Structure 1
Amino acid sequence: MTGRSAPAVLPPSLRVWLGLFAALAALAVVALGVLYAGHSRPGMVDARISAAVEGVRPPWRNVALATDFWGEPAGVAMLVVAAVAGCLLLRRPRAAVLVVAGVGMTVATSTLLKSLVGRTIHGDNLSYPSGHTAFATALALVVALLAAGRLGLGRTAGTLLVLAVALVAGAAMGWAQAALGAHYPTDVLGGWCTALTVIPATAWLVDRMADWLVDRMADAARRERR
């Protein structure tokens, strides 16, 4: 007999499609990393996009700075605590675990990739992929997965919701990073794809581990009753 302690954080109906998008995102992360490894200048696409968005003035610069704050340590801590508290209030412990584990793994992966790729901006500042964008996208993905599960959305609607929320969050933080000149636009894309790779994989692992623990507890309970 198999027990379930809580609803899956990665709805079964979304596993195949999100797994496919995660695989494609991983390929994009690797491709961009190889393309810009060791570079210290923007590529052609970067230059064109940066020319259009960089150097914004108030009030848009203030918006960009406010958005950027939520990717800084203080903002990250506030958002993570709020997200964990919200998941627990909604009685979704697996989602709370995913907030910590998924977001943590995403940030750790982006940090590791920065050292491996070695792309720099403004001197020796490692830039690929954008950690701010990866964080914002990762947290948005967790929230979207929670919403899709609670609403009982099917494969198409659920996948569209998750991708749309991730796109909005990634675009907002990515715009702020490019507008402030903190990252090249392709760094932003790399950060978005990093989150899209890590979160579905981590969600699947959280579900597997939770189910395994529930099964072990159920087996122990049965042995005690004998």
Structure 2
Amino acid sequence: MNNIKLSNLNKEECARYLGYKGNSPDERVKNIMDDCEMDIINTAIPRYLYRQFPIEFKANGVEVLGTSLLLTGNSIRNHLEGCSKVFILAATLSGEMDRLIARTQINDMAKAVILDAMAGVAIEQVCDKAEVQMKKEIEGKYFTYRFGIGYGDLPIFLEHEILDVLNASKLIGLCSNESYILTPRKSVLCIIGISDKEIKSMRRGCSTCKLSNRCEFRKRGDRCGF
């Protein structure tokens, strides 16, 4: 388990989450972003953990060796093509962040929307910092992008088993409810492939996802990490 500090949240990314699509927010929104940034830095308790596993490709999926996990679906198989190992990463901003968003929704809904988007930026920063640490541990390897559980045709019901494998509930307080919503809400659970050979980079984001029009994450205001 790793505790880290947040700093300098990416406001351009926040604007993108808010739908500005290259346009710059006005000064009022920029000022609210500044306030939200400080609120998050002062409130969130960012934590992450990860484990490395060898994998083996089977006819019915990708087996995560040393566990009972079988990653099924064409999306994850294609994602891990050429990889011999994976990192499974869990990260969260803590329940304190959820409570801050809930309080803000009562008092200032406009700010709450921006706060929620900025928290999305913050959890990505946590994941970025985790990847930096991973790359220090295994230098000379190539990584895929982060593949969220439930993205593509990778079953979201694997969340519970993956969290158990990581012991995430005990170590960082990250759980998944009966509807497969991560709690705390501002959290990420994802898979990163590890390869000896360079991996072709792919454009990421909702705009390139075939499931964007019927995505359960987007319906509830979340992101899968893609």
Q: Is TM (by shorter chain) over 0.5? A: no
- Give the number of the structure with larger relative contact order, counting CA–CA contacts within 8 Å between residues 6 or more apart: 1
What band does the TM-score fall into relative to the shorter chain? Answer: under 0.3
Structure possessing the higher radius of gyration over alpha carbons: 1
Give me the TM-score of the superposition, normalised by structure 1.
0.28
Higher strand share: 2
